[in-house]
């Protein structure tokens, strides 16, 4: 008998009581190899004593101070470390408690940016089919996963969904990889023109699609063309690096591979490595300045923004990722895994 509301009421999950390295142990003593780190979360493994010590140290000093009144040393240090490693132009960090919250903050910042800069008619979000950006209503509305959206559709704002860059299913036989990538990117321009060139607020995409396509990177040159289109029509580029960010593609930010300069980036998962629920929305200096020199107030917020213990844990995690060179190890292991044939487990009916 449990009073927990489980993910699925017809499945009784084992009770996890301990974690060490790649293994989780349940209450019967059975060990599980946690190869995926949950949902791509536990990138340092379980039971890392350094992260636990950093959290304990912070709890002993200060466990909470509301961000309406205070900032804190761990939040400042973590923001500095992220910006020191972020794509050029990214200058500010807004800490939240997970990926969906990071996407909500990104969407609201994009909207407020246009309100403050005199383009309130820009309201449309364009994302891609079969994309997942989180389960809160705004993130779900932006996402293009038909199954996850279906029963909540009456509650969701209208977003456009263009085709993803997914060579396996979409490339024509007589088309080069590059030409396919450009064709998929140009679909953004077509959709912007259909909606009205000055009506679109932002394009939202994952540099490497995680949960809903299965580790699919775009063709080389795709995001360069996307950036060109966004610049041409004054549309913001929001990159969702909640799953692909924080080192697992071989660089701290996945978009570093394409050398693309996003306006807003959402991160989570590997940022806290499961030690704390933490995520962040990062934005460019220009966007921040528009708010800072305008109303001065980003009309958003949650009680646990920039939680000191979450930020202390994330700072310890990020420092460890950087100092131990985990991104280069991911590159090396990725080359080995490339030789393994990937099987797409989604049935074709999911792809629409
Ligand atoms: C790409 C992407 N964005 C957003 C989210 C939502 O993150 P969270 O579950 O932390 O709210 C996820 C979660 O899997 C994700 O993979």
Q: ∠243-331-344 over CA atoms, to 5°?
A: 55
Can you give the pLDDT at residue 334?
A: 86
Can you give the pLDDT at residue 345?
A: 40
Q: Is 211 in the pocket of ligand 1 (CB under 6 A)?
A: yes
Q: ∠134-136-142 over CA atoms, to 5°?
A: 60
Q: Is 133 in the pocket of ligand 1 (CB under 6 A)?
A: yes
Q: Is 40 in the pocket of ligand 1 (CB under 6 A)?
A: no
> What kind and span of H or E run contains 186?
helix 177-195
- The rounded Å distance from CA 272 to ligand 1 centre is 13
CATH class label, 49-336? alpha beta
Backbone angles phi and psi of 115, in degrees to 5: -65, -45
Can you give the pLDDT at residue 211?
A: 84
Q: ∠261-267-268 over CA atoms, to 5°?
A: 170
Can you give the pLDDT at residue 214?
A: 82
pLDDT digits (tens, 9 = 90+) for 180-238: 999 999 999 999 999 999 999 999 999 999 988 888 999 999 999 999 999 999 999 99
281 within 8 A of 266, measured Cβ to Cβ? yes
- To test the ligand 1 pocket, which listed residue (132, 139, 279, 280) has its Cβ within 8 A of the most ligand atoms? 132
235 within 8 A of 203, measured Cβ to Cβ? yes
Can you give the pLDDT at residue 1?
A: 82
18 within 8 A of 25, measured Cβ to Cβ? yes
CB atoms within 10 A of CB 174: 6
Question: Which atom of ligand 1 lies closest to the CA of 209?
Answer: 1
Q: Is 39 in the pocket of ligand 1 (CB under 6 A)?
A: yes
Strand-pair category, 216-217 with 23-26: unpaired
Sites in the chain below the pLDDT cut of 70: 338-352
DSSP, res 252: S
- The rounded Å distance from CA 28 to ligand 1 centre is 31
Question: Which atom of ligand 1 lies closest to the CA of 39?
Answer: 14
- To test the ligand 1 pocket, which listed residue (36, 97, 99, 271) has its Cβ within 8 A of the most ligand atoms? 99
Q: Is 206 in the pocket of ligand 1 (CB under 6 A)?
A: yes
Can you give the pLDDT at residue 243?
A: 97
Q: Taking the domains of the chain in order of start, what are their residue ranges?
A: 1-35, 49-336
């Amino acid at each position: 008998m449990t009073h927990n509301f489980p993910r699925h009421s017809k499945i009784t999950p084992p009770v996890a009581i301990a974690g060490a390295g790649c293994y989780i142990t349940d209450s019967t003593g059975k060990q599980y190899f946690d190869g995926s780190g949950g949902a791509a979360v536990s990138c340092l493994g379980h039971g890392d004593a350094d992260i636990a010590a950093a959290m304990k140290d912070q709890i002993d000093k200060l466990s909470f101070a509301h961000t309406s009144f205070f900032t804190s040393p761990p939040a400042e240090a973590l923001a500095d470390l992220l910006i020191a490693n972020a794509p050029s132009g990214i200058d500010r960090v807004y800490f939240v408690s997970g990926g969906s919250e990071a996407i909500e903050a990104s969407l609201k910042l994009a909207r407020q940016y246009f309100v403050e800069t005199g383009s309130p008619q820009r309201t449309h979000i364009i994302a891609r089919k079969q994309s997942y950006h989180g389960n809160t209503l705004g993130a779900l509305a932006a996402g293009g996963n038909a199954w996850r959206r279906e029963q909540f559709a009456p509650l969701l704002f209208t977003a456009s969904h263009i085709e993803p860059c997914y060579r396996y299913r979409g490339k024509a036989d007589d088309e080069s990889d590059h030409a396919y990538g450009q064709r998929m990117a140009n679909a953004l321009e077509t959709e912007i023109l259909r909606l009205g060139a000055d009506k679109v607020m932002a394009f939202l995409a994952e540099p490497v699609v995680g949960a809903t396509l299965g580790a699919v990177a775009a063709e080389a040159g795709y995001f360069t063309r996307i950036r060109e289109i966004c610049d041409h029509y004054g549309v913001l580029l929001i990159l969702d690096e909640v799953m692909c960010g924080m080192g697992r593609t071989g660089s701290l930010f996945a978009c570093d591979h394409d050398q693309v300069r996003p306006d807003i980036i959402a991160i989570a998962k590997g940022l806290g490595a499961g030690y704390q629920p933490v995520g962040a929305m990062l934005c460019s200096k220009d966007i921040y300045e528009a708010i800072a020199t305008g109303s001065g107030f980003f009309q958003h917020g949650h009680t646990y923004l920039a939680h000191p213990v979450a930020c202390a844990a994330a700072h310890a995690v990020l420092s460890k990722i950087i100092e131990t060179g985990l991104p280069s190890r991911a590159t090396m292991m990725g080359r080995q895994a490339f030789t393994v044939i990937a099987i797409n487990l989604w049935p074709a009916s999911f792809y629409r």
